[in-house]
Structures are given as C-alpha cells and as structure tokens.
C-alpha cells in the first residue's frame, strides 16, 4: 500500500498512527478490517474529502469531528487563532467570543482552550453543524464555556444577521 491516503485509511482502520505502519509493514488485516479499508478507499476515490472519510481532522492540536454538514478545519485558519492571541497578548483574553458560521466549532473551541475564563457562542444556520460543534466542545473540554444557537435564536438576541 503506497501513498499518504491509503496509509491514512489503513491507520484509521487499525487505530494506529503512520509510525506504527512504518514499523510493522507486514501487518495483516482481518476480513472485517479489509472491508472497512475498502469502503474508506472507495469513498475517497469518489472524491469525498479525506476528513469526512476519516470523520475527523486535527486543528490547533485538538481533534474535531467532521461530517458532510461542516467544512473541514484548515491549517490556514489557525492564523485566525494566532491573530486573536496577538490581540490579547498583554491581557487576560476576551470575556466573550462569538463565532458566526461555527461549523465544527474549531475556531471557538480552540480559543476557549487558550482562554478558559472566556465564554463563547457558536452560531450557525445548520442544526446539524451545531450538533457537531456541541459534540466537539464536549470532546475537547469546552462544553461548559460554549453555547451554540441557530440563526433564529441569534436573531432574537443579537439583531439581524
């Protein structure tokens, strides 16, 4: 098996990282694992984004669930987190953070890990994306400091969006 994509799928199926795959290239897959690998590679061959094939993507050293209902967290979006850090480099951080179009919640959740005393609200028009963001907040330890709300609720509290 050659290439990054098949190795990522292979590693996902056996729940091991690439270093393990390099150390034990002779490892054999069970029939069930082969079927799972075939399904993952088939989805990728159908041009499904790799983060959706694997169901997650790392952002700011945190692992975020990704589905077809969210955009994939991109490494270049980490510059937004860095810019926010620069804005508050001399103080305690903001008391509140709003993330419009929150999707996976990666930006808001990452900021809440940096500033644990801050509170945040993730707003999205998609209830499915809000469910993913809420799940990600719980998995990354930000659920206590984060609320999610849909467009209608946000409109009532924040005016026209």
What are the sequence ranges of the domains in the chain? Answer: 4-53, 69-158
pLDDT score, position 157: 53
Domain 69-158 sits in CATH at 3.40.50.150
Q: Which residues of the chain have pLDDT under 50?
A: 1-2, 160-161
Among all chains, which residue has been given the structure tokens 């590693």? 11
Task: State if pTM tops 0.75.
Answer: yes
pLDDT score, position 155: 58
pLDDT score, position 28: 81
pLDDT score, position 158: 56
């Amino acid at each position: 098996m050659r290439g990054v994509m098949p190795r990522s799928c292979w590693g996902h199926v056996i729940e091991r990282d690439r270093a393990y795959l390099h150390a034990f290239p002779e490892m054999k897959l069970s029939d069930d694992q082969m079927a799972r690998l075939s399904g993952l590679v088939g989805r990728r061959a159908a041009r499904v984004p790799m983060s959706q094939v694997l169901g997650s993507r790392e952002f700011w050293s945190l692992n975020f669930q990704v589905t077809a209902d969210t955009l994939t967290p991109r490494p270049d979006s980490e510059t937004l987190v860095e810019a926010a850090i620069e804005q508050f480099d001399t103080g305690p951080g903001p008391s509140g953070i709003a993330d419009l179009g929150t999707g996976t919640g990666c930006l808001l959740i990452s900021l809440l890990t940096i500033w644990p005393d801050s509170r945040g609200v993730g707003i999205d028009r998609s209830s499915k994306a809000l469910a993913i963001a809420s799940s990600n907040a719980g998995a990354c330890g930000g659920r206590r400091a984060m609320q999610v709300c849909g467009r209608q609720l946000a409109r009532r509290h924040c005016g026209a969006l």
